[in-house]
Amino acid sequence: MTEERHNPISLQNIRLNDRFWSRRAERIAKEVIPYQWDALNDNVPGAEPSHAIENFRIAAGEVTGEFHGMVFQDSDVAKWIEAASYSLHTHPNPKLEAKIDSVIELMERAQRQDGYLNTYFTVAKPEKRWTDFSFGHELYCAGHLMEAAVAYYNSTGKKKFLTIMSRYADYIDSVIGAHDEKMKVYCGHEEIELALMRLFQATGEERYLRLSQYFIDERGKQPCFLKDEPTFGHLSKTKWFDLDYHQVHAPVRAQTTAEGHSVRAMYLYSAMADLAKETKDESLSAALEKLWDNTTKRRMYITGGLGSQGHGERFTIDFDLPNDRVYAETCAAIGLIFWAQRMLLLSPDHRYADVMERALYNGALSGISMDGKKYFYVNPLEVIPEVAENRHDHEHIQVQRQEWFGCACCPPNIARLIASLGQYVYSQRSSTIYTHLYIGSEGAFEINGQPVVLQQQTNYPWSGEVTISLKIEESQNITIALRIPGWCKKQRIIVNGQIVDNVVIDKGYAMITRKWMNGDQINLNFDMPIELTYAHPKVREIAGKVAIERGPLVYCLEETDNGSDLWSIMLPSESKLESEFQEGLFGGVVIIKGDARRSDNEGWGDKLYSSEKCQTRTVNIQAVPYYLWGNRQPSGEMTVWIRNI
Amino acid sequence: MTEERHNPISLQNIRLNDRFWSRRAERIAKEVIPYQWDALNDNVPGAEPSHAIENFRIAAGEVTGEFHGMVFQDSDVAKWIEAASYSLHTHPNPKLEAKIDSVIELMERAQRQDGYLNTYFTVAKPEKRWTDFSFGHELYCAGHLMEAAVAYYNSTGKKKFLTIMSRYADYIDSVIGAHDEKMKVYCGHEEIELALMRLFQATGEERYLRLSQYFIDERGKQPCFLKDEPTFGHLSKTKWFDLDYHQVHAPVRAQTTAEGHSVRAMYLYSAMADLAKETKDESLSAALEKLWDNTTKRRMYITGGLGSQGHGERFTIDFDLPNDRVYAETCAAIGLIFWAQRMLLLSPDHRYADVMERALYNGALSGISMDGKKYFYVNPLEVIPEVAENRHDHEHIQVQRQEWFGCACCPPNIARLIASLGQYVYSQRSSTIYTHLYIGSEGAFEINGQPVVLQQQTNYPWSGEVTISLKIEESQNITIALRIPGWCKKQRIIVNGQIVDNVVIDKGYAMITRKWMNGDQINLNFDMPIELTYAHPKVREIAGKVAIERGPLVYCLEETDNGSDLWSIMLPSESKLESEFQEGLFGGVVIIKGDARRSDNEGWGDKLYSSEKCQTRTVNIQAVPYYLWGNRQPSGEMTVWIRNI
């Protein structure tokens, strides 16, 4: 049975060596993780103090003081440890490891006798433990700590943190669950479900899987305890924070639309996919298919951003995708990547990988600045600074990336994503190696007891040329499944200099099965023209507009390149656009240039309304990759969608 | 000097006899005013109880109970009395007069010994009198009561209410003002300024003019007492309710942009215009010119609606005019009519009358249903019910007119506007009679001691044909100044069958000066084609869109006539549109029909994003006057602005 398992490549087995990503991963390891360590320790001048480490000291009784921060402040430390643990694979760093060890020891001292570990409830509300499942984030924090413990164990082999978190999980298992005397509850913010699946994978203890399953099966049963049990019920009175906000409006298998807080939703669906894969629960898989379709065909921004409004950081209704009042939280795009990867493992299909890639290169990556030190929480697709600063319905929009947030969920989340990016590149099922992402790397596999190494070279996302070389001791039958990106309309696959015709395409993967030999080489050429993209005509806010894409990248217009009043630019469908690699810009990027029309705003006069139409003239436009917007100063207007004529 | 005064025709001297307006005025008199009386007395089943009359009973000590309603609940009674008083001119009604008398007597009993009259502070917060000038609305309520008193006095000649309010005004004058021992304050919500001007006009007491002048001159001096004096300072902490919300960010003569709560702004500017006219204060006139330009050339919806966001019911920034998240409160359009009329009196110019007419026939009239019983507080220019009901940033949007509101400012405001509409038709300065609006009516004037009567007949706004006949005892030299509407590009003026060539046009008014004889007749023909209207290209939310107008009316598309997904309709600039009078619709209206294109939303498939553009097909569209939208059931989508191709 082990042979049939479908797993992502583990971080031990992959090394990135990529023009695009390696410097980002290095920046995460060398600058972001140290910076975030300082932030967690309140050592970043000018930034909001986090107090996150201090909270653990207080909980451990080593200093006195009050809890500060969000109720889920512990999770910032957890995500940081997780990111730092991943970075140890690529950037071994004994000093960093020692720092993590010191935090783990601090956590051990902060852990209660019974295994409980949460600084907010321990320090600020000891009598309120397990009373606020809607917004208390207790199990959520536990989940992030479990993920961190698994990551640290996988990186270092050290077991202490895993033991701490297993104790905590065992304690949770002793107070929550199906047995009569236990609480029948789950967390308002999903996370522990997927974390318990990871704890199960790391420890092999099936009770963690069962507890995760309990949380998933219990979720959304009606009547709902969040609403009906005053002991636990702290549901907000407004509709934006009602049952669907927490994805508890229906049992999970009966949910068909992506509802509520979008990060919560992503974490739930990720856990459901883990559980469906592990237990082969087809009712869960079927529900996930529906949720996937609804999310990606009705409620997803072109950037992979999720969440159409700030209030409730949530999904709204089908096709409601305003570009300026969007939420598209960085964490939600990251959550979509988590979910997409798990859907791939459940059933390989390029649909999942396409969305994973879209979110990765656009809506997630936009969350972090070029220098790795500034972050977007919200990722708008259109920004007019004057509007964002003056309209109340844009209150949640930041027109520049910020140094750190009081609610600092996104910065460590993007750090852990990039630090662990290798795991998204490949997966293996039996003797099939799936290539999901095109990232320069060396991945090591074991097939029939033999080591197989795939060396990938590419200038992706700027070019669609990819070379994959095999290192193998003895030649053997292997299927290499190469994802044909959804954006690609014409591809060429060459093995050892021979074009492969009649290749079997299975759900968007070219399945190259042969007796592979050492030194075999695959050359992929994915045609990567500039595309104009239109949205479903039901998307009111994008009607009559067009976006520019090239390969996996969504492009945008910035004021710096195109002047202000970006809504005055009209891009004809037949426009000739050209791409150009600019070495000096952002360390080398492909920009897109071409002609468009522009209304002559200055020539209009001073009437507010007129029966004469505004004149237009031809202008040059220049588009840059969306993920880079706002990296130049002054950061002005930006738009992804352009009026189409 | 009296001869040089420029005054609107008084309601005693005009009788409407108009196909369009008379039935509306009649409905106000016969149905709306009785209905609103019931509402004020909590006798409308299903509607939110007003408690407004009950508050006066409690204040008078006649019943016990608590104050209920908004702090400005008294103003609802005031505006109702004002509207009812106007209706007595056209629809004498002794029973109604008796009801008003009973309320006035109740007010007399509720008035404090010192003249103070306010049920909220008397009943609920007696110790807080004169402590909350930002939001307490004390002087605002006083102002509305003064306006009501003047209106009732003008209608009936009865002085009791005028005396009550003069006592109150005298009391206010004794506690607020420039003298050392008095409070240096003004009201957060302007209204008393213009009311005191009316009280001055009715009583001839110049101290009321001086008190109004004090409020206007004091307003916006820095440092501002609302912010800096804790005794009075209840300024909200958010920027949406900061100084500019109350128009106190600068002295009024230094204000150049329309800021803050739009109804407050309109009432202030109206009072400024009254004062400028009365005192010939050119610094005020100059400020008003700037404010007018900013309001009407940068911040006004095509409907004459004002206020671009719900939060703060306020202006935002230049050219920020979203159609769906608009505020455009009915009261603000009414306030704009008040202001425009006063600007006309200050300096006749069709610019003011054009805006007055625009707001009247569109943004104000849309506030009331055909049957006069339902009201819009907010008047959006685009409604997608599913979006309005599901997005938090549309929370303030009602997709149907409501029966009554807890905050019921708009229903009695529209009632008083329509009941007093006659005063907006004509004005007189010396021997010049200005015709501002084309409404079937008979207006009586006195020129050189002789009576002059103008009889106007028209089918406006459906037709641009107007006939004006003179009744005059002795022929005399009179100038009849006929407004050429701004929307009209070609007009013909015929006097006694002769086309008048080389007519002197002075600021948009055709000045016909001659020795007029009894029975002389003027025939006006204003060409009234269908116009496609474009907005200033700086208006981001309307870029690439077009509106349909005909004469003074703005048209809209409704789902009932055009199906859903109205944003999918594209109107070509060269589209052939035709108007058609439909006898059976809304009691007879001109609708507009023609061809447009529509995206084939059903044929698109299930992709959310695609490089293939959506197909389009030709469809028939039908537009109805905007003010009528939402009068058919089910009331669905609506849009004023249509995508233009």
Percentage, residues of chain A above pLDDT 90: 90
Residue B407 has a pLDDT of: 60
| Residues A220/A284, Cβ–Cβ less than 8 Å | no
Contact across the interface for B599 and A543, Cβ inside 8 Å: yes
Q: B432 forms bridges with which residues in the sheet?
A: B429, B479
Contact across the interface for A302 and B609, Cβ inside 8 Å: yes
| Cβ neighbour number for residue A597 with a 10 Å cutoff | 18
Q: List the single residue in A393, A534, A543 with the smallest CB-CB distance to B309.
A: A393
Residue A227 has a pLDDT of: 84
CA-based nearest distance B585→chain A, Å? 28
Pick A410 or A336 by higher pLDDT. A336
pLDDT at B284 over 80: yes
| Residues A525/B556, Cβ–Cβ less than 8 Å | no
Contact across the interface for A391 and B544, Cβ inside 8 Å: no
| Residues B522/B512, Cβ–Cβ less than 8 Å | yes
Contact across the interface for B604 and A537, Cβ inside 8 Å: yes
Question: Alpha helix locations (H) across A41-177?
Answer: 52-59, 74-90, 94-110, 119, 138-156, 160-175
Question: Alpha helix locations (H) across A483-558?
Answer: none
State ipTM: 0.95
pLDDT at A556 over 60: yes
Contact across the interface for B309 and A531, Cβ inside 8 Å: no
All residues at 6 or more sequence positions from A394 whose CB lies less than 8 Å from its CB, including other chains: A324, A325, A387, A388
C-alpha to C-alpha distance for A21 and A440, rounded to whole angstroms: 8
Helix axis angle for B262-279 and B206-218, nearest 10°, is: 130
| Residues B6/B509, Cβ–Cβ less than 8 Å | no
All residues at 6 or more sequence positions from B76 whose CB lies less than 8 Å from its CB, including other chains: B40, B50, B52, B69, B408, B409, B412
All residues at 6 or more sequence positions from B428 whose CB lies less than 8 Å from its CB, including other chains: B6, B7, B9, B434, B445, B447
Q: What is the pLDDT of residues A614-628, one digit of tens each?
A: 999 999 999 999 999
What pLDDT band is residue B635 in, cutting at 50, 70 and 90?
Answer: confident
Q: A619 forms bridges with which residues in the sheet?
A: A596
Count how many residues are written for chain A.
Answer: 645
Contact across the interface for B540 and A565, Cβ inside 8 Å: yes
| Cβ neighbour number for residue B491 with a 10 Å cutoff | 17
Q: What is the pLDDT of residues A478-535, one digit of tens each?
A: 999 999 999 999 999 999 999 998 899 999 999 999 999 999 999 999 999 999 999 9
The token pair at B471 is 């009744």
C-alpha to C-alpha distance for B132 and A421, rounded to whole angstroms: 59
The token pair at B305 is 């609606």
Q: What is the pLDDT of residues B498-553, one digit of tens each?
A: 999 889 999 999 999 999 999 999 999 999 999 999 999 999 999 999 999 999 99
Candidates A600, A609, A641: best to mutate against B (most CBs of B within 10 A) is: A609
Q: What is the pLDDT of residues A393-440, one digit of tens each?
A: 999 999 999 876 555 667 889 999 999 999 999 999 999 999 999 999
Chain B residues in contact with A320 (beta carbon < 8 A): 387, 390-391
C-alpha to C-alpha distance for B476 and B381, rounded to whole angstroms: 48
Percentage, residues of chain A above pLDDT 70: 97
Contact across the interface for B392 and A317, Cβ inside 8 Å: no
All residues at 6 or more sequence positions from A262 whose CB lies less than 8 Å from its CB, including other chains: A306, A307, A313, A314, A315, A327, A329, A332, A335
Count how many residues are written for chain B.
Answer: 645
Catalytic residue among B313, B329, B357, B541: B313
Residue A3 has a pLDDT of: 43
| For A296, nearest residue in chain B (alpha carbons) | B608
From the number of C-beta atoms within 10 Å of its C-beta (0-12, 13-18, 19+), residue B348 rates as buried
CA-based nearest distance B73→chain A, Å? 27
Q: Count residue pairs from A and B with Cβ separation < 8 A.
A: 137
Residue A634 has a pLDDT of: 85
From the number of C-beta atoms within 10 Å of its C-beta (0-12, 13-18, 19+), residue A143 rates as buried
C-alpha to C-alpha distance for A547 and B613, rounded to whole angstroms: 12
Residue A2 has a pLDDT of: 44
Name the residue type at position A218. Answer: E
User: If you average pLDDT over residues A462-473, what whole number do you get?
Assistant: 97
Q: What is the pLDDT of residues A103-159, one digit of tens each?
A: 999 999 999 999 999 999 999 999 999 999 999 999 999 999 999 999 999 999 999
> Mean pLDDT across chain A, nearest whole number?
95
C-alpha to C-alpha distance for B251 and B218, rounded to whole angstroms: 7
- Among residues A250, A192, A182, which one has the least CA distance to residue A219? A250
Chain A residues in contact with B544 (beta carbon < 8 A): 544, 570, 643
The catalytic site residues of A sit at 313, 409
Question: Alpha helix locations (H) across A188-298?
Answer: 192-203, 206-218, 225-228, 262-279, 282-298
- Helix (H) / strand (E) element for B217: namely helix B206-218
C-alpha to C-alpha distance for A462 and A479, rounded to whole angstroms: 27
Residue B229 has a pLDDT of: 77
First vs last C-alpha separation in chain A: 57
pTM of the model: 0.95
Q: List the single residue in A298, A316, A614 with the smallest CB-CB distance to B390.
A: A316
Q: List the single residue in A390, A531, A538 with the smallest CB-CB distance to B317.
A: A390
Residue A233 has a pLDDT of: 60
| Cβ neighbour number for residue B494 with a 10 Å cutoff | 14
